[in-house]
A and B are shown apart, each in its own frame.
Chain A
Amino acid sequence: MKRLICILCPKGCHLEIDEKQGYKVSGNGCPRGEQYGKREVIAPVRTLTSTVKVVDALHSRCPVKTDSAIPRKLILKAMRLLDNVQLQAPVHCGDIVIENVFDSGANIIATRDLDKVS
Chain B
Amino acid sequence: MERYDLAIIGAGPAGLAAACAAYENGARKIVVIERDREAGGILNQCIHNGFGLHHFKEELTGPEYAQRFIRMVKETDINLLLDTMVLKVTQDKKLHIMNPQDGYKIVSAETVILAMGCRERTRGAIGIPGTRPAGVFTAGAAQRYVNIEGYMVGKRVVILGSGDIGLIMARRMTLEGAKVLACIELMPYSNGLSRNIVQCLDDYGIPLFLSHTITEIKGKNRVEGVCVQKVDKLGKPIPGTEINFDCDTVLLSVGLIPENELTRETGIEIDHRTRGPVVFENMETSVPGIFACGNVAHVHDLVDYVTAEGFRAGAAAARFCQNQIPAYDSKRVTTFKCGDNVSYAFPQHIRPEGINKYAELFFRVKRPVINAVIELKSGNEVLCSYKRNHMAPGEMEKIIIPKEALETADGLLTISVAGE
Contact = CB atoms under 8 A, between A and B. Distances in A.
Interface of A: 4-5, 7, 10-12, 46-47, 49-51, 53, 58-61, 63, 65, 72, 75-76, 79, 93, 111-113
A53 B150 CA distance: 8
B53 to A, nearest CB: 12
Interface of B: 37-38, 44, 47-49, 59, 61, 63-64, 66-67, 146-150, 175-176, 193-195, 197-199, 203, 389-390, 392, 395
Contact of A79 (B147, B175, B199): B175
A50 B61 CA distance: 10
A106 B14 CA distance: 32
Contact of A7 (B148, B195, B389): B195
Contacts of A53: 150
A63 to B, nearest CB: 4
B38 A63 contact: no
A75 to B, nearest CB: 7
Q: Which 7 A-B pairs rank lowest in CB-CB distance, beginning with the nearest?
A: A112-B63, A63-B47, A7-B195, A61-B150, A60-B150, A111-B61, A12-B194
Nearest to A63: B47
A63 B63 CA distance: 8
B219 to A, nearest CB: 29
B199 A46 contact: yes
21 contacts: A7-B193, A7-B195, A11-B390, A12-B194, A12-B390, A46-B203, A49-B61, A51-B47, A51-B150, A59-B149, A59-B150, A61-B148, A61-B150, A63-B63, A63-B147, A65-B61, A79-B176, A111-B47, A111-B61, A112-B64, A112-B67
A77 B9 CA distance: 43
Contact of A63 (B61, B197, B392): B61
Q: Which of A60, A79, A112 has the most CB of B within 10 A?
A: A112
Given A4-B198, A49-B61, A60-B150, A65 B38 contact: no
Contacts of A113: 67
B150 A111 contact: no
Given A50-B175, A51-B146, A112-B44, 16 more contacts: A4-B198, A10-B390, A10-B395, A47-B49, A49-B47, A49-B49, A61-B148, A63-B61, A65-B61, A76-B175, A93-B63, A93-B67, A111-B67, A112-B66, A112-B67, A113-B67
A51 B38 CA distance: 18
A58 B176 CA distance: 22
Q: Which of B59, B63, B198 has the most CB of A within 10 A?
A: B63
A72 B203 contact: yes
B169 to A, nearest CB: 13
Nearest to A110: B63
Contacts of B198: 4-5, 7
A51 B147 contact: yes
Contact of B148 (A10, A50, A59): A59
